[in-house]
Amino acid sequence: MTDPTNGADADPGVATGTGRRSGSHALDGVIDRHDSTAARSQTGRTLRSGARAMGAANLASQITRVLATIALARLLAPEIFGIVALVTVVTGFFERVLGDTGTSAAIVRQRELSHRLASSVFWFNVSLGAVTTGAFLVLGPLIARLLGQPDGGDYVRVLGCAALINSCSYVQRSMLRRGGRFRPLAVSAYGNTLCTSAVSIALAAIDWQVWALIVGNLAGSVLGVAVLWRASSWRPALHFRRDDLRQISNFSANISAFNFFGYFVNSGDRLIVGRLISTEALGYYGMSNRLMRYPVQSGIRPYKDVVLPTLSKLQDDPPELGRVYVRSVAALFFAVTPVTVSIAVLADPLVRALLGDQWLPAIPIVSIIAMVATLQALTITTGSLYVVTGRTDLYLRWGVIGAVVTMASYLVGSLWGVEGVAWGYLAGIAVLTYPSFKIPFRLIGLRVRTLAAAIAPTIAALVVMAAAVEAVRRWADSSGLDPWMQLVCGLAAAGIVYGTWAVTVRPRAFLDVLSLTRRQGGAFTS
């Protein structure tokens, strides 16, 4: 799994004698320390190597997910997707709030990490995972009835097992991220995607209906966790003390509380659609979210796994931290948004060509959610600044505000049906965008206009690209071309316009993305 010639892939557990090869663990031993001076000289190399590994895995994952989604959309009815999405809202909520509890981010950020602390965190997470899974096993039928799915008790019970499965990998994932070992993370992510897709499609083909999606998700989680354990030489000791957890309690508690409120922002819309409108409407809404989640996740996963650990090492150098943050976000925005904007314009031929006629009601929702995804490509990164500066108390306060505003927008929008919820989602995100940057930027002395200047060329190019794609789409439609040809023509127009601009104007974001994909270069080092 590792390349011994690559310094970024060195396992800190092995290097300090606390790993699997040493035969024993020194509980009081230090696994590693963050050194901001050394981090400055290695920022470019770390970002390049990590971005290449995670970028390749995410590209493969997103292609696999899109193909699997198309196959499943033609094998399963929209209501099936709606039922699973509704159950996942509840199981995912408890797993997120009572699962990691912010300890992963705390381990990545910790200046000096001991084996004693890591072991205590591991057993704490596993204990919470076991309690959560146990609660789902007992309360599954009751939860299903509250969701309006009286026959769905077994769905809740089985999906609830993911809490225990995933809790076994939080510390391993954090160790790999902290040590800059991105290749195993990439392999785990893609293995999860490939296994989930293959199992779900195979079971859907033999008419397992809802169970096809549920069993597929669990199978992917098991494989992903197994890969992380195989890749990480760190193993927990039989040690747990509450005093160890107190080192990170304030930090992690604020993140856990933020996750509580943040979950309403991310999943409250699905709960409202599924409970107040219908599971069929949730199927259309959930499919739209699923299609748009892929391009955003293709950028945000490398950001979380690669950039966040790098920013953590720069926590004592605010100017450098701000510079790396702005350039990494501008690069993310440059890479992701041409996909989301193109989908917003081409939603009609995309749904008709890829999903089929049974999904036609999803067309306007796909277009709206694509606009939401465009904004999220920016706003989803701001939490990292609260984490690396240790101001998770402000993170929590902002989470409460965001949850209130967003839930209100969902509820008001639901008066106009499922499309109204989508419009409410867009309105809520738009209202929160400016303050979501203004508040954390104060922590590092960064101005919003600095980021605005970095992304302004991309925004201008997106406007021109969107106009060109819409013109081509209208021409193709009026010419009687089928949805497949309309989609191909529109995507070709997007590629030509945006690609020509990137190559001729060569904005800094383009150069950063280009250098991150090369073996040579100095991304973010000048």
Percent of the chain past pLDDT 70, that is, above it, reads 81
Model confidence over 479-505: pLDDT tens digits? 999 999 999 999 999 999 999 999 898
Structural domain spans, the chain: 7-35+52-516
- Least confident range of 70-74, 79-83, 216-220, 380-384: 380-384
pLDDT category at 37 given cuts 50, 70, 90 is low
Q: Is the pLDDT of residue 323 over 70?
A: yes
Long-range interactions of 19-28: CB distance < 8 A, separation 24+:
19/233, 19/234, 19/235, 20/233, 20/234, 20/235, 21/233, 25/115, 25/119, 25/235, 25/237, 26/115, 27/114, 27/115, 27/116, 27/119, 27/237, 27/239, 28/114, 28/115, 28/116
- Least confident range of 148-152, 215-219, 371-375, 439-443: 148-152
Cα–Cα distance, 275 to 261 (Å, whole number): 19
Q: Is the pLDDT of residue 11 over 50?
A: no
Q: What is the pLDDT of residue 337?
A: 92
* Direct distance between the N- and C-terminal alpha carbons of the chain, in angstroms, rounded to an integer: 32
Q: Is the pLDDT of residue 21 over 50?
A: no
Torsions phi, psi of 32, nearest 5? Answer: -165, 170
Q: What is the pLDDT of residue 395?
A: 84
- Least confident range of 246-250, 351-355, 373-377, 505-509: 246-250
Q: What is the pLDDT of residue 7?
A: 35
Model confidence over 398-452: pLDDT tens digits? 888 988 999 999 999 999 999 999 999 999 999 999 999 999 999 999 999 999 9
Q: Is the pLDDT of residue 294 over 90?
A: no
Q: What is the pLDDT of residue 189?
A: 85
The whole-number average pLDDT for the span 173-197 is 85
One-character DSSP codes across 27-69: TT-EEEE--HHHHHHHHHHHHHHHHHHHHHHHHHHHHHHHHHH
Q: What is the pLDDT of residue 252?
A: 67
Reduce the DSSP state of residue 305 to 3 states and report it. helix
Q: Is the pLDDT of residue 85 over 50?
A: yes
Q: What is the pLDDT of residue 522?
A: 43
Supply the pTM of this predicted model: 0.76
Q: What is the pLDDT of residue 98?
A: 65
What separation in angstroms does the CA of 260 have from each of 67, 372, 385, 470, 482?
32, 21, 19, 40, 45
Q: Is the pLDDT of residue 371 over 50?
A: yes
pLDDT category at 24 given cuts 50, 70, 90 is very low
Q: Is the pLDDT of residue 319 over 70?
A: yes
pLDDT category at 147 given cuts 50, 70, 90 is confident
- Least confident range of 7-11, 264-268, 291-295, 386-390: 7-11
Model confidence over 507-526: pLDDT tens digits? 888 877 776 555 444 445 44
The whole-number average pLDDT for the span 450-456 is 94
Q: What is the pLDDT of residue 47?
A: 52
Percent of the chain past pLDDT 90, that is, above it, reads 41
469 versus 56: the higher-pLDDT residue is: 469
pLDDT category at 112 given cuts 50, 70, 90 is confident
Q: Average model confidence (pLDDT) for the chain? A: 82
The whole-number average pLDDT for the span 195-215 is 95
Cα–Cα distance, 234 to 155 (Å, whole number): 34
> Of 365, 201, 225, 338, whose CA–CA distance to 283 is shortest?
365
Cα–Cα distance, 27 to 310 (Å, whole number): 26
Q: Is the pLDDT of residue 56 over 50?
A: yes
Q: What is the pLDDT of residue 101?
A: 65
